[in-house]
Structure 1
Amino acid sequence: MAVSLKVRFEDAAPRAALARAAEGARDLTELMDQIGSVLVNGAVERIGQTNVAPSGTPWPKSLRAQLGGGEDGEPGAGNAGPTLHDTGQLMRSITELPAPTQVTVGSNMIYAGVHQTGATIRPKTKKALSFTLANGDAVTVGSVTIPARPYLGISEEESADIEELSLQYFADLLDEELR
């Protein structure tokens, strides 16, 4: 004798929850805003405190920080402060722009990209570059290489936070209809 069991999914609440989750997946702006906040906070912490790339690699100490009294503490009172935190402008300029399927995190400071990726600066019209160091010494050189000090990116901790936010976002969408 043949036996069969047929199960149908007709409950309105789970169907509504799945529809809401599907709709929520089309416009993730709210989730992207939360993810953006995690990434902005991470970049701010790297610039203002840790001086460590998202990968966990410590940044090369800047000459300004070396000449100005070291990395520890806030700028001022004879202390240059952390490497990318002279005036704090770069740190304060980090923003996020959420959209339905992505979030953009960055800075509009003209030098932001140089610090993120590094650069070699060479004179355009002269044979050498001349400038004054943080300690007041005047120098003339053929070029200046600024090492990359990545402050934007996703650390392991931020990745875990983003995963948790994402799971909670969809759990909330599903749960809202079931309450």
Structure 2
Amino acid sequence: MSMDIQVSMDSLHRLADRIAQLGDMDTRPLMDELGAAVVSQTQRRIDSEKTGPDGAPWDPWSESYAKTRHEGHSLLIASGDLSDSLEHILGISGDHAEVGSNLVYAAAQQYGLDMSVIGTHRRIQIPARPYLGISTENEEDLVALVDDFVDRKLREM
């Protein structure tokens, strides 16, 4: 199962007039920069911030699960696979980048999980710990990237 978020030029209205000056610019290099930046922002969220894109802290582990963890483990980090699995790809037309993970459990971490295990009396409950998304600070960083990209392209003209 994979999941993704999309960062497109449509979400960056503030720069629309400047970008229009560039005409039919190839946006693939820009989308590649934005995708890489979102991956980096998301890895930082997982590795150190421990909050969703909205700034809300993630729910802590349950008491019983916390007893199975050891030093070096933290929320969404046991071996680092989730953070390491994050990648970005460019859309065919080059006008957007998709960011996500293809790990089977990635969606359960993002959206949460509540299910009974068939044939047992066990219930698995994982609270949602959204890590994909763009915070206000992330958006400001992305806007600055677009602004720098546009400046470079206008200087080349």
Q: Deviations over 1:72-120 (max 9, x none)?
A: xxxxxx4152210011111100001123111110001000001001111
- 1:90–1:19 CA distance, 2 compared to 1 (3 A): closer
Q: Deviations over 1:107-152 (max 9, x none)?
A: 010000010011112123x1423xxxxxxxxxxxxx2221110111
Q: How many angstroms apart in 1 are the aligned matches of 2:41 and 2:154?
A: 29
Structure 2: any 5+ residue segments left out of the alignment?
A: 1-18
Q: Which amino acid aligns with 2:84?
A: R
1:103 equivalent in alignment to 2:102 = no
Percent sequence identity is 29
Which structure's relative contact order is higher, taking Cα pairs within 8 Å and 6+ residues apart? 2
Q: Could you say which residue in structure 2 is the equivalent of 1:128?
A: 121
Equivalent residues in 2 for 1:82-161, closer than 5 Å: 82-99=74-91, 100-124=94-118, 126-129=119-122, 143-161=123-141
Structure 1: any 5+ residue segments left out of the alignment?
A: 1-17, 70-77, 130-142
Q: How many angstroms apart in 1 are the aligned matches of 2:47 and 2:20?
A: 43
Q: Which amino acid aligns with 1:173?
A: K
3-state SS of the aligned residue for 2:99?
A: strand
Normalised by the length of structure 1, the TM-score is 0.69
Counterpart among 144, 147, 151 of residue 164 in structure 1: 144
8 Å contact kept, 2:114–2:125: yes
Normalised by the length of structure 2, the TM-score is 0.78
Q: How many angstroms apart in 2 are the aligned matches of 1:19 and 1:60?
A: 43
Moved over 6 A (4+): none
1:36 equivalent in alignment to 2:39 = no
Which structure is larger by alpha-carbon Rg, 1 or 2?
1
Q: Which amino acid aligns with 2:67?
A: L
Q: Which amino acid aligns with 1:21?
A: L
8 Å contact kept, 2:39–2:88: yes
